[in-house]
Structure formats: C-alpha cells, structure tokens
Amino acid sequence: MSRGSLRGALQLDLLATVPVRITLLFIVLLLSMTPSWAGSLAPKLDIGLGGQCVNDPKFMRKNHMEMLKHQRDETVRQGIRGGKYSLVECVNCHASKKDNNVLGSNEHFCQGCHAYAEVKIDCFECHSSKRKVVAEAAK
C-alpha cells in the first residue's frame, strides 16, 4: 500500500468515526437529561395515608408482587393471615382519602402505577380494593 493510499484510508476512517462520535455524544447528552423528564412523566398518585411504608419505596416498586405472592402462599398453605406484606394492609394504607379505594382512576395508587407500567392488575378480581374499615362498615 502506498503512502498516499494509506493516508487516504486513514482520513476515511477518521471521517467514518466522527458521525459515530457525534451520535454517541448526543445519546449521552440525551440520557443525562432523562431524570428531569422522568419526574414529569411519572404518575401523580393519591398515596392515601402515606407515611412510613413496610419497606423502602424503591424496593416495593420492584418487588411488591413477590412479597404479596409470598404472603399469599403463607396464608393459603399455612393459614397465616395479616402478615407484614398482606394485601389488606397495602389497601388500608394506600387507598385514596377521597373514596377509600385503590382503583377508580389513574390517580388511585394501584391503578395509576399499573397503568403507568402497563401491567395488568388482577388482584382485585377476587380481593376488595376498598380500605377494610370502610368495606366492613358497608356490610
């Protein structure tokens, strides 16, 4: 390969990497702006009573279904009711103060989060979505 063709090949290689570098820089800048967007896109939820959750909120967002399934298994197989992660306690804490429910609109705690995550919520096909105190008073 002659010196001229080598120089030309190097220049072409350099030109080929400039668009790649610009694209990568754009992606990095775009990703660095994501947290400010995420806050505005996150659902606005009525968290009910709120306060101190049974576990770290980040942990619960990711693992609440596993905790509920574990509690379900203890209840069904061993008869242990009312544990730390019982669905009734979740509803009692997170039901809206307006209507004592976790379902009804995308502002309600369970429905809003599941709609945002595009995950089907089927717990309340069998279980009550109303705060226990209110559900018992209605009987």
Residue 3, pLDDT above cutoff 70: no
Q: Tell me the C-alpha distance between 69 and 92, whole Å.
A: 18
Residue 50, pLDDT above cutoff 90: no
Q: Rounded mean pLDDT of 48-59? A: 88
Residue 113, pLDDT above cutoff 80: yes
Q: Tell me the C-alpha distance between 123 and 69, whole Å.
A: 11
- Return the structure tokens found at 134: 């209110």
Q: Which residues pair with 130 in a beta bridge?
A: 101
Residue 40, pLDDT above cutoff 70: no
Q: Tell me the C-alpha distance between 139 and 137, whole Å.
A: 6
The pTM of the full predicted model, rounded to 2 decimals, is: 0.64
Q: Tell me the C-alpha distance between 104 and 108, whole Å.
A: 6
pLDDT level of residue 108 (50, 70, 90 thresholds): very high
Sign of CA dihedral 93, 98, 103, 108: negative
pLDDT at 138: 60
Torsion, Cα 50 55 58 64, to 10 degrees, reads -90
